[in-house]
A and B are shown apart, each in its own frame.
Chain A
Amino acid sequence: MRDSRQAAAGTLWAAPAIVGVALFFALPAIAVVGLAFTDWNLLGTPSWAGPRNLIDALTSDSTVRAICVTVAIGAVSVVIEISVGLALAKTLVAFPRAALAGAVLLIPWMVAPITVGVIARWVLAPSDGLIAELLGHRVDVLVDPLGAPLAVAAVVSWQATGFAVLVYAAALRTIPSELRAAAALDGAGAWNLLRRLEWPLLRPVTFFLLVTATIRGFALYDVIVPLTGGGPDGATRTVSTLIVEEAWESFEIGRAAALACVAVGVELIFVSLQWGWYRRSTR
Chain B
Amino acid sequence: MGLVPQEHAVTAHASRRIILGATLALAIAASLAPLLLGATVALTSPQQFARTGVGVPAPWTLSNFAALFADPTTFVRPVLVTLGAGVIVAAAQTTSSVMAAYALTRFPFAGRRMFVVVLAAAYAVPPVTTVIPLYSWFVGIGLAGTFWALVVPFVLASPYAIFLLAQWMRSVPSEVVDAARVDGGSHATVLLRVVAPMVRPAIATVALVTFVSTWNSYLWPRLIAGVKLPQVQVAVASLQTQFDSNWTLVMAAATVSVVPPIIAALVLHRSLSSAIGTGVSP
In the complex, the answer to whether B156 meets A24 with C-beta atoms within 8 Å is yes
In the complex, the answer to whether B223 meets A11 with C-beta atoms within 8 Å is no
Q: Could you say which of B31, B41, B111, B127 contacts A105, with CB atoms under 8 Å apart? A: B31
Q: Mark A25-53, 1 if CB is under 8 A from B, else 0.
A: 11111011001000000100000000000
| Residue A69 is within 8 A (CB to CB) of chain B in the complex | no
In the complex, the answer to whether B129 meets A264 with C-beta atoms within 8 Å is yes
Q: Mark B196-236, 1 if CB is under 8 A from A, else 0.
A: 00000000000000001001111100010000000011001
In the complex, the answer to whether B156 meets A20 with C-beta atoms within 8 Å is yes
A243 to B126, CA, bound (A): 10
**Total number of A residues with any Cβ neighbor in B under 8 Å:** 96
Q: Could you say which of B38, B107, B128, B245 contacts A13, with CB atoms under 8 Å apart? A: B107
Instruction: Tell which of B3-11, B57-65, B67-75, B97-105 binds the partner.
Output: B97-105
In the complex, the answer to whether B280 meets A110 with C-beta atoms within 8 Å is no
Q: Could you say which of B37, B130, B212 contacts A29, with CB atoms under 8 Å apart? A: B130
> Total number of A-B contacts with CB less than 8 angstroms?
288
Q: Could you say which of B136, B270, B280 contacts A171, with CB atoms under 8 Å apart? A: B280
| Residue B132 is within 8 A (CB to CB) of chain A in the complex | yes
| Residue B148 is within 8 A (CB to CB) of chain A in the complex | no
Task: List residues of chain A with CB within 8 A of the CB of B153.
Answer: 24
Task: List residues of chain A with CB within 8 A of the CB of B131.
Answer: 28
| Residue A263 is within 8 A (CB to CB) of chain B in the complex | yes
Task: List residues of chain A with CB within 8 A of the CB of B24.
Answer: 88, 91-92, 95, 98, 101
Q: Could you say which of A14, A87, A120 contacts B103, with CB atoms under 8 Å apart? A: A14
Task: List residues of chain A with CB within 8 A of the CB of B104.
Answer: 14
CB distance from A183 to the nearest CB of B (A): 17
In the complex, the answer to whether A29 meets B262 with C-beta atoms within 8 Å is no
Chain A, range 90-118, C-beta contacts under 8 Å to B: 91-92, 94-95, 98-116, 118
| Residue A267 is within 8 A (CB to CB) of chain B in the complex | yes
In the complex, the answer to whether A16 meets B157 with C-beta atoms within 8 Å is yes
Chain B, range 225-251, C-beta contacts under 8 Å to A: 232-233, 236-237, 240-241, 245, 247, 250-251
Task: List residues of chain B with CB within 8 A of the CB of A88.
Answer: 23-24, 27
Task: List residues of chain B with CB within 8 A of the CB of A10.
Answer: 103, 106-110, 112
- Closest chain A residue, CB of each to CB of B38: A119
In the complex, the answer to whether A26 meets B132 with C-beta atoms within 8 Å is no
Q: Mark A220-263, 1 if CB is under 8 A from B, else 0.
A: 01100110000000000001100110011000010011001001
Task: List residues of chain B with CB within 8 A of the CB of A98.
Answer: 24
CB distance from A194 to the nearest CB of B (A): 14
Given contacts A14-B100, A42-B136, A112-B215, contact A29 B125 (CB under 8 A): yes
CB distance from B187 to the nearest CB of A (A): 6
Question: What are 10 residue pairs bridging A and B, where the CB atoms are less than 8 Å apart in the complex?
Answer: A6-B109, A10-B107, A11-B111, A20-B96, A105-B27, A115-B236, A130-B37, A170-B280, A171-B277, A240-B126
In the complex, the answer to whether B115 meets A115 with C-beta atoms within 8 Å is no
Given contacts A32-B133, A115-B254, contact A13 B100 (CB under 8 A): yes
A6 to B27, CA, bound (A): 51
